[in-house]
Amino acid sequence: MSRHRVVGPSAWILGAAGLVIGVGAAWLVSQGNPGNMGLCIACFNRDITGAFGGAWANMGGVAYLRPEILGLLLGATAASFVTSEFRPRGGSSIPLRFVLGFVFMLSSLIFLGCTVRAWLRLGGGDLNALYGIAGIVAGVMVGVVILKQGFNLGRAKVTSPIVGWIGPAIMAVLLVLAFMVAFGSAPGFVTTTPAGAKATAEGAVVQGDSVLKPPGGTLEDGAVVAEDGTVISPAESVAKAPPMPGGRRAPFAISIVAGVALGVVAQRSRFCSIGGIRDAVLVRRYDLLFGVAGLLVGATVANLLLGQYNLGFVGQPIAHTNALGNFAAMGVAGLSATMLGGCPFRQVIMSGEGDADATVAVLGMFAGALVAHRFVIASTGAGLSDKAWPVMAVMAVVLLVIAFAKRERVA
């Protein structure tokens, strides 16, 4: 009687890939990316959206065409094309995939990170991530129950090459714009958070010794003073002002090269931050889980060596301490990703492989980011928005309705 094999040869490949991704993400932080956010699919897709949403969508502080995302997808495209794995496909429950991507993004921005950043945050010592990871596991477990009940978005069909190239084409256009931003010739419709800028609690924006907001403001004895002499932000507030996420970034060349390299690694290894937990619960297979373990180990060791490890709950970069909110938000994110068939990292990589369904999910994430900031649903370091709990409740109901609607009845 043969025993069920729970770990195959791919486990070690996935573990190595996770290790590379974790180390790469931590290294990108040392090069200038936001703390514990060397590579966050939700946050970086949000920043790309912010480049077009700008002040109208309350995204002036999170606006930057992140080269890492563009590199990830185009690196996956190159790797899949060279290995004859680029296969144009799609047409499987397109509207629902958009909704699931939308829900994933909203819930991630309530937690302040995607299912990849949850592990990267823990790898940087942020213990608030433990509640988020517990939520991911809970969400995946609910998703497994739904899968066992026959949930199925349907099979993607082979489609025309032009459809498969939509995702890479979008990223190629964004890459051109990103080059223009990097070299100071960006068109007027693209917003970019000033590098190194920080925002005070009173809404002033300071970059070095200059005051960017309010117009005409100046720094006097460390305080932001308006043209009429009114103190907008006292010196204490300016000193404590956190950096604006969009203004924290590694040099362009480093970001794009790292993105392409990690895109190749992820495409060849099939890395997925959700699939490992799903497979462990559903079929007792642990190969993909090695990728997550490698990610955590790589990020932890690299952060320790780079002097970026900060163990605790308080004072963590771009994070809040609402334990229940962290758990619930990642529970919704974990469930939506399970229903999509893969985490946002995997969706970006699949889009690069010619999967139009994954491209639709990524576009849903862009839309979710716009709504999250335009209607002040996204969290801040101070905590959850007043709208977070009602929105999470609605999203949970939407996911359950989708699960019921797409249930296949087995005779």
Query: In sequence order, which residues have a C-beta less than 8 Å from that of residue 394 and are 6 or more positions away?
Result: none
Over residues 313-341, the pLDDT tens digits come to 999 999 999 999 999 999 999 999 999 99
pLDDT at 2: 44
pLDDT at 52: 97
pLDDT classification of 408: cutoffs 50, 70, 90: confident
pLDDT classification of 1: cutoffs 50, 70, 90: very low
How far are the Cα atoms of 202, 360, 380 from residue 40, in angstroms, in the given order?
A: 28, 19, 16
d(CA 32, CA 349): 24
CB atoms within 10 A of CB 20: 19
Over residues 119-150, the pLDDT tens digits come to 999 999 999 999 999 999 999 999 999 999 99
CB atoms within 10 A of CB 403: 19
How far are the Cα atoms of 88, 109, 176, 197 from residue 80, in angstroms, in the given order?
A: 11, 30, 22, 38
pLDDT at 190: 97
Query: In sequence order, which residues have a C-beta less than 8 Å from that of residue 216 and are 6 or more positions away?
Result: 226, 227
pLDDT at 9: 76
User: Distance from CA of residue 246 to its chain's centroid?
Assistant: 13
Mean pLDDT, rounded, for 230-256: 95
Query: In sequence order, which residues have a C-beta less than 8 Å from that of residue 298 and are 6 or more positions away?
Result: 18, 19, 20, 21, 22, 23, 24, 26, 123
Q: Are 336 and 107 in contact (CB under 8 A)?
A: yes
Angle made by CA atoms 173, 333, 298, in degrees to the nearest 5:
75
d(CA 350, CA 267): 8
pLDDT classification of 10: cutoffs 50, 70, 90: confident
Domain boundaries, the chain: 10-194+247-405, 198-242
Paired tokens of 278: 């799903």
Query: In sequence order, which residues have a C-beta less than 8 Å from that of residue 172 and are 6 or more positions away?
Result: 74
Which DSSP symbol is given to 160?
-
| pLDDT of 72 higher than 50 | yes
Over residues 334-373, the pLDDT tens digits come to 999 999 999 999 999 999 999 999 999 999 999 999 999 9
Mean pLDDT, rounded, for 153-179: 95
d(CA 309, CA 300): 7
pLDDT at 411: 45
Mean pLDDT, rounded, for 240-247: 93
* Percent of the chain whose pLDDT exceeds 90: 92
Over residues 266-302, the pLDDT tens digits come to 999 999 999 999 999 998 889 999 999 999 999 999 9
Mean pLDDT, rounded, for 79-105: 96
Over residues 33-58, the pLDDT tens digits come to 999 999 999 999 999 999 999 999 99
Paired tokens of 121: 């945050």
